[in-house]
Amino acid sequence: MHTLTLKQMSQKLHSGEITSVQLTQHYLDRISAFDPTLNAFISVTPELALSMAADADKKLAAGQGEFLTGIPVAHKDIFCTDGVKTSCASKMLDNFIAPYNAHVVELLNQIGMPILGKTNMDEFAMGSSSESSYYGPTLNPWDHQAVPGGSSGGAAAVIAAGLAPLATGTDTGGSIRQPAAFCGITGIKPTYGAVSRFGIIAYASSFDQAGPMTRSAEDAAWLLSAMAGFDARDSTSLERPKDDYTTQLNQSLNGLKVGVPAEYFGEGLDPAVETQVKNAIAEIEKLGAQIVTVHLPNKDLAVPAYYVLAPAEASSNLSRFDGVRYGYRAKDPVDLQDLYRRSRAEGFGAEVKRRIMVGAYALSAGYYDAYYVKAQQLRRMVSDDFKRAFEQCDVIMGPVAPTPAFNLGEKTDDPTSMYLADLYTIPVNLAGLPAMSIPAGFVQGRPVGLHLVGPYFSESKLLNIAHQYQQVTDWHTKMPAQYK
């Protein structure tokens, strides 16, 4: 059952050929068999999942089911889930049971999608490898020596290994697209504000955006249609009519103008990855698209700007975790200062501490103008690059990451090298644009992703292009041999 598309699952559920309880139990059995090795889940919730599946079967039997009713889902452990541990992969929140649901969780619960559990991630979504989790690293299903990417590495791994048909993720600097590329699945980061951030534990509020992680573009369109929409509880939520992203999946690509940035194909890009990406773009050209060269001259400014702005926001957002109001509390403090210091020292991991310190420094008196204001100016320059590029083309394509998945431990002692893994994804977050990663081949047995970037609210167009590509290629159907 784990190789079925969402459409096939939905048809079998609505026809009564299978029940949601059977489907959910199938995935729970696979989680029991494979997750002890992969470590892709922080929490598995079998009793909740089967209870929700039984309720879904009642809705289906009564003819009240929607397309996704009865199909189980895994949530990244950054989404608050009522009555379920929500740790953000941190010791700081190891004992936190969320008292409410995130908006996205509410929406999927209303449809009747059983929750299989909460997936592993980099601590507080800070990382590009899912190695900074308090609960240990997740392994890449394609190669257990490789990382699955981060920070939604657990979500990407469960899709690639067939431990869940769908998963939610969040993308602050590439945290959906980079792990999707490393694990050979499909992931889309929507336009900033298209999906409510209510109930998502904040890392960098002006960057964070939730999105779906699935096997195919068609599956992503179904899940994004369910997740997106206005929410008055999120002040950055976009108040616009709700979209159905499945309605434009069969549009011709004739006349589509695809921009290929000259700056994306040069020093630092693995030649084998470049070949796979160019082959994928050539395949889209065969479908009728016209390829044009565009320029994003400030691409190299994006990473330094991001690593000032995101830590600055993180230092503010994480100040609430002080051992008094929220989070882990150190034992037997001698005074209030000792409580603050030891609670944070013992509760946060090394990468989180590094980013809080960088952020606090950038925001401090005397350095604010030199670093934070300057970084905001660079953010505008990067965003303006995209505006000029989209005057010449409809979408931009290129690599998701400069290399395939790297080895576990390879970059943990070199943060700068780790940060450069997000070289191509971070500019999109600075500009708030929608973008997605789709499987586009392999290099030495490890998956490679094609990066599609569009103007604001072009999710339907991106999903259609990806769907057309996946009609003539089969990269998205591949599974690691041991998980078939």
Are residues 55 and 61 in contact, defined by beta-carbon separation less than 8 angstroms? no
The CA R_g of the chain, rounded to the nearest whole Å, is: 21
Structure tokens at 250: 């069969």
DSSP-derived pairing of the beta strands 115-119 and 73-76: parallel
The helix/strand/coil state of 169 is: strand
Angle, alpha carbons 412-418-423 (nearest 5°): 175
Catalytic residue among 20, 151, 225, 343: 151
Question: Tokens standing for 241?
Answer: 């009519």
* Residue recorded with tokens 């999903």: 463
Whether residue 151 lies in the annotated active site: yes
Please identify which residue in the block is written with the tokens 């499987």: 439
Structure tokens at 363: 């925001």
How far, in Å, are 45, 83, 476 from residue 24 at the CA level?
11, 20, 23
**Catalytic-role residue among 10, 20, 43, 76:** 76
Answer yes or no: 76 catalytic.
yes
Q: Could you tell me the two tokens for 467?
A: 């769907």
| Closest C-alpha among 350, 365, 362, 351 to residue 308 | 362
Question: Which H or E run contains 186?
Answer: strand 186-189
Length of the chain (residues): 484
The one catalytic residue in 43, 128, 130, 175 is 175
Amino acid at 64: Q
The answer to whether 7 is a known catalytic residue is no
Distances in whole angstroms, Cα of residue 176 to Cα of each of 236, 368, 449: 20, 30, 12
By DSSP bridging, strand 186-189 and strand 115-119 are unpaired
Distance CA 300, CA 424 (A): 9
Tokens read off for 335: 């005074």
Q: What Å distances lie between residue 285 and 292, 299, 342, CA to CA?
A: 11, 25, 57
Phi and psi of 12, rounded to 5°?
-70, -35
Alpha-carbon distance 448 to 277, whole Å? 8
Taking Cα atoms as reference points, which of 312, 293, 309 lies closest to residue 301?
A: 309
Angstrom distance (rounded) from CA 71 to CA 1: 11
Which positions are catalytic?
Answer: 76, 151, 175
